[in-house]
Amino acid sequence: MFQLNEIVKYMSPVIIFLAALSVVTLSFYLERLFTIAAFNRKTHKELSVLRDLVKTRKSDECDKLSKKALEQIISNPDFTGCDGESSLLHYRVELDEGVENLRISIVKIGSVATLSPYIGLFGTVVGIMNSFSEIYRTGTSNFAYVSKGISEALVATAVGLFLAITASFCYNHLSAKIRAVNNEKNSALERIRITIESGRRNG
């Protein structure tokens, strides 16, 4: 079984690249986790406030919630309050954009999961080529001369597969988190829409 110093000794540029990519992928995964959690907290808070404003119809408070989505509607002379479905539609668009940006941001991890086995395979081929090069150089197939290239090939394969499995897990976990945020957002918006319709019928 390889000791750590032996593994380091057989690290080719491909293996070093894969190891560095593993660190970057894990760091990006953790950063995205915090970003998704922050987006979820912010969205949950805003939707709770919006739901309360819809119930009380405090139109003068709506612009504090989302300038980008509601500013034009609130400044419209025909705007009658937060009980209008147009304001909800614009706010939904803004939230949908936020969710879509989260989805796009994790594509990088999906790409790592897809490409890392091929990068590992490239390292494997390089290691085997080095073994054949040693055979040609020494004129012998003695294992002592070709072991470095074979070890390099095996380590590259292992690191590539490890990175692919890790990146796949990270991508799937982040995708599930984003789906949960999106579903919660849609449910909250639907409840607000129902409140709007109920207020319209009762009004």
Q: Per-residue pLDDT tens for 104-140?
A: 999 999 999 999 999 999 888 888 887 777 777 777 6
DSSP character at residue 167:
H
**pLDDT the model gives residue 118:** 92
Identify which of 179, 4, 20, 185 has the alpha carbon closest to the alpha carbon of residue 95.
185
Of 5 and 63, more confident: 5
Task: Report how far Cα 50 is from the mean position of its chain's Cα atoms.
Answer: 28
Question: What phi-psi label fits residue 139: left (phi over 0), alpha (psi between -120 and 50 degrees) or beta?
Answer: left
Domain spans, the chain? 4-202
DSSP character at residue 142:
-
Minimum mean pLDDT range among 50-59, 88-97, 142-151, 179-188: 50-59
Residue type, 45: K
Of 195 and 112, more confident: 112
Sign of the four-CA dihedral 74, 85, 183, 104: negative
The H or E element containing residue 91 is: helix 85-105
pTM: 0.73
Q: Average pLDDT in the 90-100 region?
A: 81
Written as six digits, the tokens of 200 are 């319209």
Minimum mean pLDDT range among 73-77, 111-115, 153-157, 173-177: 73-77
Residue type, 86: S
Q: Average pLDDT in the 191-195 region?
A: 73
How long is the chain?
Answer: 203
On whether the CB atoms of residues 167 and 148 are closer than 8 A, the answer is no
Residue 61 neighbours by CB distance under 10 Å: 15
DSSP per-residue letters across 4-26: HHHHHHT--HHHHHHHHHHHHHH
Q: What is the percent of the chain where pLDDT is above 70?
A: 67
**pLDDT the model gives residue 87:** 60
Of 65 and 150, more confident: 150
Could you tell me the pLDDT band of residue 197, with boundaries at 50, 70 and 90? low
Could you tell me the pLDDT band of residue 7, with boundaries at 50, 70 and 90? low
Q: What does R_g of the chain's alpha carbons equal in angstroms?
A: 28
Q: What is the percent of the chain where pLDDT is above 90?
A: 31
Find all residues with CB under 8 Å of 119, minimum gap 6, and list them.
14, 17, 18, 21, 160
Indicate whether 166 pLDDT > 90.
yes
Residue 199 neighbours by CB distance under 10 Å: 15
Any idea which residue has 């919006």 for tokens? 50
Indicate whether 145 pLDDT > 80.
no
**HSE value, Cβ hemisphere, 13 Å, CA-based, for 201:** 5
**pLDDT the model gives residue 38:** 92
